[in-house]
């Protein structure tokens, strides 16, 4: 299909049925996690020696069990299970994963120090001698190695360190977390907290089996199954200008994916140089039963190579993910805001959101007129739907481009009653959120999703 034929085809409008996949709310997930944590603390108290309160063994028991339980929660949250991705959202899951990871690292350190100190106190030996004796206990050498791996992964995940690494390098090193979990598991199962409780040991093992089963199901098997079922291949590449290119992907039975505007996939292009890593890109046009479109801006080595993929290249697609869909809408009207290449999911939503055109606005912020993507498409959609289209171009320091509560209220009638969808840089998103709240928009009507590594 040629570029002109693609533009004329209108395949962006799909008759595929909307997805009906099950989802779970953030509140339900948090309730389940806290209920499990409560059960773990109760187990620690039961196993702790008397007196129960204010003793090192209790601190060691509680922190160790909570760390082991937290690992299963973190693995499950990042398993890409559709119910979580759709109901909670990839950005919130990532934030929870980051917060939970830091909590686990702290619990591991507390557990190690408290357990060693408790042994030193109980045996009445120096702390260094207690450390040597503890390391000679069954499974402790492997658990210590696992702890060091956990701490190493935590170090490379720190924001100032992570920014210096390529995505591919960070992703590979982050996978060492699974090895750290495996090294620590035998210590958890045979440790004093679970020893002598066969039913609890079975339940603990099933908890780990369930969380890792989710990872196997949705991060490994699902993409391979979709590759076989849908046979996605690169059909052709369109140069969109401004350093961006659209990749048109052809496949079979794509309606079975139940993808929606506003969602994204993790794409793995099966070439010699690209197959090792996957990249999250939103659909830049509503899904079609034969085609999908993504638009990629060249901002690194990997994305530049994607621009050069040849027609016929096989593509492994995991998804769809993301909760920034029509399901999030609460108000009567909608304001879509895209910054730079963040216009991609907004462009798809602009065409398909079931709201009257008079209450639909798209605000597109770009640093230069030449970097505006899909101008012709956006203008055509706005004209056809009777929707409002606003371009803000130029330097952010230009008073005409100021984003304030007053400027947003002037540009967008009835702002406080609208749902606002945002996809932009962190700085721009933060400024928008602050201005929208100042303008009287309830936070629950602001929807945004980030999936940076």
Express each pLDDT in 389-404 by its tens digit. Answer: 988 887 766 667 678 8
Compute CA distances 254 → 19, 49, 282, whole Å.
12, 59, 16
pLDDT at 161: 67
- Cα–Cα distance between 157 and 124 in angstroms, integer? 39
Q: Which residue has the higher pLDDT, 1 or 339?
A: 339
pLDDT at 159: 67
- Cα–Cα distance between 133 and 178 in angstroms, integer? 27
- Cα–Cα distance between 431 and 448 in angstroms, integer? 13
Q: What is the mean pLDDT of the chain?
A: 80
- Report the share of the chain in percent with pLDDT over 70: 84
Tokens 């899951």: give the residue: 93
pLDDT at 6: 45
Domain that residue 54 falls in: 26-218
With cut-offs at 50, 70 and 90, classify the pLDDT of residue 380: very high
pLDDT at 68: 86
**Domain end marker among 271, 302, 321:** 321
The answer as to whether 10 is a domain residue is no
Tell me: pLDDT of 306 over 70: yes
pLDDT at 9: 43
The answer as to whether 166 is a domain residue is yes
CATH code for the domain of 67: 1.20.120
Give just the sign of the alpha carbon dihedral 421, 423, 424, 430: positive
Tell me: pLDDT of 157 over 80: no
Tell me: pLDDT of 248 over 90: yes
The mean pLDDT of 339-351, rounded to a whole number, is 89
Both 337 and 209 in one domain: the answer is: no
The mean pLDDT of 124-143, rounded to a whole number, is 74
State both tokens at 219.
Answer: 């991060």
Give just the sign of the alpha carbon dihedral 119, 100, 38, 33: negative
Q: Which residue has the higher pLDDT, 143 or 382?
A: 382
Tell me: pLDDT of 137 over 80: no
Q: What is the CA radius of gyration of the chain?
A: 25
The answer as to whether 453 is a domain residue is no
Strands 315-321 and 264-269: antiparallel
The answer as to whether 150 is a domain residue is yes
The mean pLDDT of 263-269, rounded to a whole number, is 89
Both 337 and 275 in one domain: the answer is: no
Both 156 and 54 in one domain: the answer is: yes
Phi/psi for 212 (5° steps) reads -75, -25
- The distance in angstroms from the start CA to the end CA of the chain is 34
- Report the share of the chain in percent with pLDDT over 90: 11
Tell me: pLDDT of 49 over 80: no
**Domain end marker among 218, 248, 266:** 218
With cut-offs at 50, 70 and 90, classify the pLDDT of residue 119: confident
The mean pLDDT of 87-109, rounded to a whole number, is 82
pLDDT in tens, 411-432: 888 888 888 898 888 788 888 8
With cut-offs at 50, 70 and 90, classify the pLDDT of residue 348: very high
With cut-offs at 50, 70 and 90, classify the pLDDT of residue 3: very low
CATH code for the domain of 342: 3.40.50.80
The answer as to whether 363 is a domain residue is yes
Both 127 and 256 in one domain: the answer is: no
Both 410 and 383 in one domain: the answer is: yes
Q: Which residue has the higher pLDDT, 162 or 54?
A: 162
pLDDT at 4: 43
- Cα–Cα distance between 417 and 310 in angstroms, integer? 46
Both 197 and 277 in one domain: the answer is: no
pLDDT at 100: 86
pLDDT at 5: 41
Return the C-alpha torsion angle 422, 423, 426, 430, nearest 10: -10
With cut-offs at 50, 70 and 90, classify the pLDDT of residue 312: very high
The mean pLDDT of 43-59, rounded to a whole number, is 68
The mean pLDDT of 88-105, rounded to a whole number, is 81
**What's the structural domain count of the chain?**
3
Both 279 and 302 in one domain: the answer is: yes
- Cα–Cα distance between 421 and 347 in angstroms, integer? 11
pLDDT at 403: 81
CATH code for the domain of 237: 2.40.30.10
Tell me: pLDDT of 19 over 60: no
Nearest to 19 by CA among 111, 101, 87, 66: 87
Both 185 and 54 in one domain: the answer is: yes
pLDDT in tens, 190-228: 666 676 778 888 888 898 899 999 989 888 888 888 888
pTM for this structure? 0.71
Both 75 and 190 in one domain: the answer is: yes
**3-class DSSP assignment, residue 242:** coil
**Domain end marker among 270, 292, 321:** 321
The answer as to whether 145 is a domain residue is yes
Q: How many CB atoms lie within 10 A of CB 128?
A: 10
The answer as to whether 18 is a domain residue is no
pLDDT at 350: 92
The answer as to whether 360 is a domain residue is yes
State both tokens at 233.
Answer: 């291949």
pLDDT at 17: 41
Both 340 and 302 in one domain: the answer is: no
Both 189 and 52 in one domain: the answer is: yes
Nearest to 56 by CA among 66, 44, 67: 44
Can you say how many angstroms the Cα of residue 373 is from the centroid of all Cα atoms in its chain? 25
Both 83 and 179 in one domain: the answer is: yes
């Amino acid at each position: 299909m040629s570029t002109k034929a693609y533009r004329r085809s209108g395949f962006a409008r799909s008759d595929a049925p909307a997805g009906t996949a099950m989802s779970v709310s953030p509140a339900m997930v948090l309730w389940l996690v806290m209920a499990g944590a409560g059960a773990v603390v109760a187990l620690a108290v039961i196993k702790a020696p008397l007196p129960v309160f204010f003793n090192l063994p209790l601190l060691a028991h509680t922190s160790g069990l909570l760390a082991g339980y937290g690992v299963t929660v973190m693995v499950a949250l990042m398993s890409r299970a559709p119910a979580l991705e759709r109901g909670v959202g990839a950005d919130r899951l990532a934030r929870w994963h980051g917060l939970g990871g830091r909590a686990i690292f702290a619990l591991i350190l507390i557990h190690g120090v408290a357990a060693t100190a408790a042994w030193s106190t109980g045996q009445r030996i120096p702390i260094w001698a207690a450390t040597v004796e503890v390391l000679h206990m069954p499974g402790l050498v492997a658990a210590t190695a696992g702890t060091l791996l956990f701490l190493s992964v935590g170090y490379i995940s720190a924001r100032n360190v992570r920014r210096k690494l390529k995505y591919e390098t960070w992703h590979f090193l982050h996978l060492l977390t699974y090895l750290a979990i495996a090294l620590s598991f035998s210590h958890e199962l045979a440790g004093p907290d679970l020893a002598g409780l066969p039913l609890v040991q079975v339940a603990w093992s099933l908890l780990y089996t369930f969380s890792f089963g989710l990872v196997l199901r949705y991060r490994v098997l699902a993409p391979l199954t979709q590759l076989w079922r849908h046979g996605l291949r690169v059909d052709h590449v369109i140069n969109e200008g401004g350093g961006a290119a659209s990749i048109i992907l052809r496949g079979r039975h794509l309606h079975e994916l139940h993808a929606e505007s506003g969602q994204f996939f993790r794409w793995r292009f099966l070439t010699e140089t690209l197959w090792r890593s996957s990249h999250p890109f939103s659909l830049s046009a509503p899904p079609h039963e034969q085609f999908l479109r993504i638009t990629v801006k060249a901002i690194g080595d990997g994305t530049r190579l994607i621009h050069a993929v040849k027609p016929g290249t096989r593509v492994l697609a995991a998804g769809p993910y993301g909760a920034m869909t029509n399901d999030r809408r609460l108000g009567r009207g909608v304001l879509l805001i895209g910054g730079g290449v963040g216009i991609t999911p907004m462009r798809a939503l602009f065409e398909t959101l079931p709201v009257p055109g008079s209450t639909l606005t798209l605000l597109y912020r770009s640093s230069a007129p030449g970097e505006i993507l899909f101008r012709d498409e956006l203008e055509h959609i706005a004209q056809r739907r009777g929707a409002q289209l606003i371009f803000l171009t130029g330097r952010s320091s230009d008073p005409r481009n100021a984003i304030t509560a007053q400027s947003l209220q002037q540009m967008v009638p009835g702002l406080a009653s609208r749902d606002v969808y945002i996809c932009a840089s962190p700085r721009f998103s933060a400024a928008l959120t602050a201005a929208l709240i100042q303008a009287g928009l309830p936070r629950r009507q602001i929807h945004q999703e980030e999936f940076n590594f």
